[in-house]
A and B are shown apart, each in its own frame.
Chain A
Amino acid sequence: MSAATSGETLSPTGTEPAAATTVASGHRRWWQRTGLTSAISVASVIVVLAAWQLCASQGVVDEKLTSSPWGVVQSFRFLIDNGQLGSDVASSARLFGVGLGLAIVIGGLGGVLIGWWRLVAAVFEPWIAILYSMPLIALLPLILVWFGISFSAEVVMVVLISVFPVLVSVITGTRNVDQELVRLARSFCGSELAVIRTVLFPSLVPYFVSGVRLAIGSALVGVVVSEYFLGNSGIGGLIVTAGENLQSGEVFVGITILALSAIVMTTLLRRAERRISQWRTR
């Protein structure tokens, strides 16, 4: 694990504008330069895993309840061999992809409309304020009534939970656009659409990315929650069923997959943003 990736995994939910993360690399202390911090991070993980394994195999804790790293690996193998893991991951990934995709499209377009036109904002802002501040999981029984136990009910839940981070972030970004650049574009007879395309969209990139980064986390929550309650399928279903059957190893398999996919997606997103925003750092 390199210094850069360990730094990223420590703050997976960072909301700070992306510019801040790229500038700070100039002055590093000796223990950062020598990679000591990343060595400590790796050691920290290894120590905990080793302690867990040791406690389980020495009977300090009941391995039936806590499982152990080796137990988790065996559960992994077992679930891969009987084909369950593959289909569960595929099913969760489909729900996650459709839900997050819709949330990004709705949040992105809605955020631009609401941020750009005051009248649109007047219509939607009270609803955003109400929905964004409440625990949306409370709506689950209603969704169940309206959509039944179905894929669409699950998608609705995921979208509902993950749309607001994107929406709110894009609204903020749209309102923060440099008004002088907007004036400049208008002075060149730029049409409203041209102003939005050439001034607004490029300046939205960091806001959009940090919205999506938060939405990835929320969408995973949405996926697991709706699989728990609405379908008993996918990784969420796997975790619930395994828990009920006291298969803690399989529970940890599900948890590990969720954690890893969150880290991988956030990291990829950060890389992508760095590539688009090269003008910031050069």
Chain B
Amino acid sequence: MSANVSLTSVGKTFAPGSRPVLDNVNLEIQPGETVTLIGPSGSGKSTLLNCIAGMEPYSGSIAIEGEPVRKPRRSVAMVFQAPHLLPWRTTAGNIAYGMQLQGGLPKEDQRKRVEDLLELVKLRDARHRYPAQLSGGMQQRVNIARALAVQPSVLLMDEPFGALDAISKEHLQAELQGIVSAQRLTTVFITHDISEAIFLGDRVIVLSADPGRISAELTVERPRPRPLEWKRSAEFQDFYSFLWKELQQA
């Protein structure tokens, strides 16, 4: 189910002659590993994620399971920052959407999978509601469920909890951690929230701005599931101040 992602001297320049957005990014992501990317705005975090998703051309090489990435692939699912739900589809319809686009799955299996995901993201009661009737946190859960529905081996997440209030955010972090480790998903997660990066990451990568480069790396050795209380521990605080200092220089 899980796959490795490997980036070798990845670079990205938008307009010819302008300063590169990404410069010489090298990163090996192990199968089932969660890597969180953190960095100031302008460090090219989202651009890097789009490159891995195959939605943006780049220089250098990116390979998933040894295969070079040039266009979106079925085993990779992307979760955008805004939920981007189809407003004319219900919760269940939105969860099924990615699956239906990829096709190849019998209707009965689709229904079963939507059923399981509604359970997983706790949206059973909201299955017939339209996005306009859901809270921000619920919409984001639909967004995640839609990505999980295609049973990806790599999950790419672009600040999915950025717009949420502190409480829904912590809930979703805990839920996501459970899902990701249960399914051994290889995950790349972008955030600019330091404690989110530590809590979710097996490894935290700090990107510096202008041009975007890897400027620091932190391995978070702490078994899962990690309880939310762990965020209040001294160990966590040490990680936090290390990353905070790194970000000041980034």
Contacts and interface: CB of A to CB of B under 8 A. Distances in A.
A189 B72 contact: yes
Contacts of A11: none
A184 B74 contact: no
Interface stretch (B25-33, B76-84, B119-127, B180-188): B76-84
Interface stretch (B8-16, B95-103, B233-241): B95-103
Contacts of A189: 72-74, 101-102
A280 B80 CA distance: 23
Given A279-B132, A282-B132, 10 more contacts: A183-B80, A184-B78, A186-B55, A188-B77, A188-B97, A279-B88, A280-B87, A280-B132, A282-B130, A282-B133
Q: What 10 pairs between A and B have smallest CB-CB spacing?
A: A190-B101, A188-B98, A188-B101, A187-B78, A279-B130, A202-B88, A279-B88, A184-B84, A189-B72, A180-B84
B86 A187 contact: no
Q: How large is the interface on A (under 10, 10 to 19, 20 to 34, 35 or more residues)?
A: 20 to 34
A172 B222 CA distance: 54
A202 B86 contact: yes
A142 to B, nearest CB: 44
A279 B82 CA distance: 20
B117 interface: no
Contacts of B53: 187
Contact of A194 (B74, B101, B150): B101
Contacts of A277: 88
B86 A188 contact: no
A9 interface: no
A198 B97 contact: yes
Interface string A265-282: 000000000000101101
A181 interface: yes
B101 A198 contact: yes
Contacts of A194: 101
A171 B97 CA distance: 26
Interface of B: 53, 55, 72-74, 77-78, 80, 82, 84, 86-89, 97-98, 100-102, 130, 132-133, 150
Interface string A173-187: 000001011011111
- Chain B residues touching A, majority SS: loop
Contacts of B101: 185, 188-190, 194, 198
Interface string A37-74: 00000000000000000000000000000000000000
A109 interface: no
B36 to A, nearest CB: 20
Contacts of B55: 183, 186-187
A185 B87 CA distance: 14
A185 to B, nearest CB: 6
Nearest to B53: A187
A187 B150 CA distance: 12
B65 to A, nearest CB: 16
A112 B38 CA distance: 41
Interface centre among A184, A186, A198, A282 (most CB of B within 10 A): A184
Nearest to A182: B84
B150 A188 contact: yes
Contacts of A184: 78, 80, 84
9 contacts: A178-B84, A180-B80, A180-B82, A186-B72, A188-B102, A189-B101, A277-B88, A279-B88, A279-B89
Contacts of B80: 180, 183-184
Contact of B86 (A181, A186, A280, A282): A181
Interface string A76-95: 00000000000000000000
A178 B131 CA distance: 15
Nearest to B100: A198
B201 to A, nearest CB: 23
Nearest to A281: B132
A185 B78 CA distance: 10
A189 B84 CA distance: 16
Which residue, A180, A187, A279, has most C-beta atoms of chain B within 10 A? A187
Contacts of B82: 180
Nearest to B131: A279
Contacts of B87: 279-280
A198 B88 CA distance: 10
A187 B72 contact: yes
